Amino acid sequence: MKNVEKYTRGYFMPPVKSLKWTEKEYITEAPIWCSVDLRDGNQALVVPMTLEEKLEYFQLLVKIGFKEIEVGFPAASETEYTFLRTLIEKDLIPDDVTIQVLTQSRDHIIKKTFESLKGAKKAVVHLYNSTSVAQREQVFKKSKEEIIEIAVSGAKLLEKYAAETEGNFQFQYSPESFTGTELEFALEICNSVLDVWKPTADNKVIINLPATVELSMPHVYASQIEYMSDHLNYRENVILSLHPHNDRGSGVADAELGILAGGQRIEGTLFGNGERTGNVDIVTLALNMYSHGVDPKLNFENILEIIEVYERMTKMKVDDRQPYGGKLVFAAFSGSHQDAIAKGMKWREENDCKHWTVPYLMIDPKDIGREYEGDVIRINSQSGKGGIGYLLEQQFGLDLPKEMREEFGYTVKNVSDRQNKELMPEEIHQIFLNEFVNLSKPIEFVNYHFTKHDDYQTVVTVKINEEEQELNGEGNGRLDAISNALRTKLGVNYHNLVYKEHAQELGSESNAVSYVGITDDNGKVFWGCGIDVDIMTSSVKALFSAVNKLTANTHLTSKEGHFITSK
């Protein structure tokens, strides 16, 4: 690509080695979560949410389990001011939920911010100003000392107005554009603010370090966080918060490594909504922890309901490949993947499994309200016998023999290939019924009766070309007797009859299902299935279905009653 020389690395490494986070294997406990959907996320929407939509979204966040929710920038927008007042005046904020509001370091804005908070039981007041080299030089044209003065004066104003306003307030400071700020200067300005507020064990302060623009690989952000965590004043009384954006597509990795490096709190949004490429996706971050056996302290057990509200309120779409939430994230089209999943699920049924280890599935889809049917096994021309057989068994109670699954798998794949589309479960079921079940052409089963002497003797009535015939046969069992009648009286040549049966439970009904495989003189196996309320009748129908499959390329002479190979 052209112009590569115009780009450079605009971040800063810590002045000392900060790599203790590399010694940690995984996140052991959930951070404090703060949703910024209603502020950072909302400001990034093409059409911001209405008051009514924000109220519904707030209730969704509460239901999920967020205990800290940033509700807006009340001094900057009448809509956000009204929204905050509505939450307070209508007592819509649960006692265990803390709201958060954003403010710049300007007297009249801070004053109005505290006015908007009158009557709030508990609130975080979030002060910020930009600190990066680019912002200082290009936007504000101020020295480091002047930038520090903006932050310090804002911190003092927060103390002043908090003292004059009834309520319980916690302070938060963000050096906005932290990732483009020299680490020594970021530390200096944060410590200057902390020296104003002097946090205590009973009155902790939040220092929030935003990757306002993601400038580096995640390990760099982690080292920056560790450096700050190791050198902040009053560290034991500081809650270190992270606010990663996703410009390089690594927001989740930034957050995860940042937590290992000392981060205690995460600001983010559902499904990563936010400016440009968005904020860190809290759904992915939380469920990643869940997949390691760590309780995320957020409830995504009904993720489809959450997606419905999210998409309706934001007019955004959750991508089909979005981790955990997307329509296709658990889907397996590949035959080998489907076979492994089906065998893994079967293994779980047959063994006492404490932990989830099913191939290809990080978590059990059912734990977040997804279903195996339709969500996991998806059928197209790339699918295999294992997945197709698993779908028939799970949704329709049909447990095909292994060899029959292979034949039916090819049948389904050929249909999908010809139609160039994914096949839905009902379509696959219908293909099975049409191609294998209770087949009546060219030989239609009518009825039978048996007598028992040394062996079984039968008279089976069939219909061929609309003409009924009675065929006599005998054998060491009922099905063997009927099979011998078909072979000797009609001249159908096959051997090696394979048989399997099971009950099919569907709702309040129960049918008997039988499968029969027969082998022709060339060694090719033909399968048929019979379904009936009577187990013997289902077996006979399965045999007739298999025989009709075998005779698909033959015709029956009307005079002799024997099958002759067609030209």
Q: What pLDDT, on the 0 to 100 scale, is given for residue 136?
A: 96
Long-range contacts at 301-307 (CB < 8 A, ≥ 24 apart): 301/367, 301/368, 301/369, 302/368, 302/369, 303/368, 303/369, 303/370, 304/369, 304/370, 305/369, 306/60, 306/64, 306/270, 307/271
Burial class (CB in 10 A: 0-12, 13-18, 19+), 514: buried
Could you give the domains of the chain? 29-297 (3.20.20.70), 335-436 (no CATH), 443-565 (3.30.160.270)
Percent of the chain with pLDDT over 70: 95
3-state secondary structure of 336: helix
Which residues fall in the annotated binding site?
Answer: 40, 243, 245, 279
- E strands present in 373-524: 443-452, 456-464, 467-475, 495-506, 509-519
Please tell me the distance from the alpha carbon of residue 374 to that of residue 492, in angstroms, as a whole number: 41
**pLDDT value for 144:** 97
Identify the burial level of 483 via C-beta atoms within 10 angstroms of its C-beta, where 0-12 means exposed, 13-18 middle and 19 or more buried.
Answer: buried
Supply the pLDDT for residue 73.
Answer: 95
- Tell whether pTM > 0.75: yes
**Which pair of tokens denotes residue 33?**
């979560």
Give the pLDDT band of residue 553 (cuts 50, 70, 90): low
Name the residue with higher pLDDT: 401 or 564.
401
Termini Cα distance of the chain: 64
Q: What is the pLDDT of residue 427?
A: 92
What whole-number percentage of the chain has pLDDT above 90? 79
Average pLDDT (426-454) is 91
Could you read off the pLDDT of 331-365 as tens digits, one per residue? 887 778 888 888 898 899 899 899 999 999 999 99
C-alpha 393 chain-centroid distance: 24
User: Which of 169-183, 196-210, 276-290, 396-410 has the lowest average pLDDT?
Assistant: 396-410
Q: Residues at the annotated binding site for Mg(2+)? A: 40, 243, 245, 279
**Lowest-confidence segment of 128-137, 243-252, 346-355 by average pLDDT:** 346-355
Which residues fall within 8 angstroms of residue 411, CB to CB, at 6 or more apart? 431, 435
Query: Tell me, what DSSP letter sits at residue 41?
Result: I
Ramachandran class of 40: left when φ > 0, alpha when ψ lies in -120 to 50, beta otherwise: alpha
